Amino acid sequence: MLLVDCSNCHTPLQLPPGAPSIRCALCHAVTLVADPRSLPPSSSHSSSFHHHHGHRYPPPPPHAPPGPPPPAHGGKRALICGISYRNTRDELKGCVNDAKCMKFLLINRFKFPESSILVLTEDERDPLRRPTKQNMRMAFHWLVQGCRPGDSLVFHFSGHGSQQRDRDGDEVDGFDETLCPSDFRTQGMIVDDEINATIVRPLPRGVKLHAIIDSCHSGTVLDLPFLCRMDRRGQYIWEDHRPRSGVWKGTSGGEVISFSGCDDNQTSADTSALSQVTSTGAMTYSFIQAIERGHAATYGSMLTAMRSTIRNTGDELEGGLVTSLITMLLTGGNLSTRLRQEPQLTANERFDVYTKPFSL
């Protein structure tokens, strides 16, 4: 399948064989192709990609470009995905609420222009703005397309996450982490390798990306090289998650920091116990609350505040004694060893979490 750039926003689009035109899901522009069969085998954009195990990923840069960073640009752009999997056995209650809350926060607290925020939920009337696998992939490209030094990017996801066996040897625990689009039962999940290749590795110097991932098994879902392992006293060390194979998982000089709902071997709660009003993802709620209550001075204070919020509501998140006993019977586990949700922080570079100011 050929890749062509949108004639308006330059997002790479997958052109079906023989199609004379294609409509961009993001800006709705129609790109005409006179005869797809006459196109050269690699266009200016597709030539910068290579195939790896059947996937199309950008090549890993060997290191950041030398010299001082270019002048700042200062734009803001965000991709927000909230997936409820409505009318399926996978249904969640709070994910679309999470998306609405995150959009409100970015606009009103961090001054993101509404026109620079792309929201994918099942509530969207336009089918091209729904969180299908293809639409999410296109939105990833839109998020980083044309970014310049000084730009601040945000990716927020609220929905199901999972794991699958790692087949290329780049995972310390032997499992790839995944995000589940609305059509994952038929189209498959989006694997962390692809997420890293699409929105992490191409990021140029001077650009910052924050990811807020509210899903199960999401600790290292961006495949970032370093994980901040923090205990309940707030003491931490940076764990090195760089693949033994030497595969590059960093950026092209940019900065990526990710808050995730839980560790790779944990699950995240979808609950009304925190807001007392409506269902939300526990991680999204604790992230927004930490900012609103003034705990967002540094990344360390953010992480400890988020964990405290979830820990203090632990009984409600567990669903009470009856739910706990049912869970124990179904899983063959016991109450003393059940996992609790602990938000995680990962990054492309190590830093002092208690001195680095938090900002979006």
Write out the catalytic residue numbers.
160, 216
CA separation for the pair 348, 201 (Å, rounded): 10
Report the length, in residues, of the chain.
360
CA separation for the pair 346, 319 (Å, rounded): 29
Instruction: Name the nearest CA neighbour of 353 among 179, 228, 259.
Output: 228
What is the amino acid identity at position 224?
L
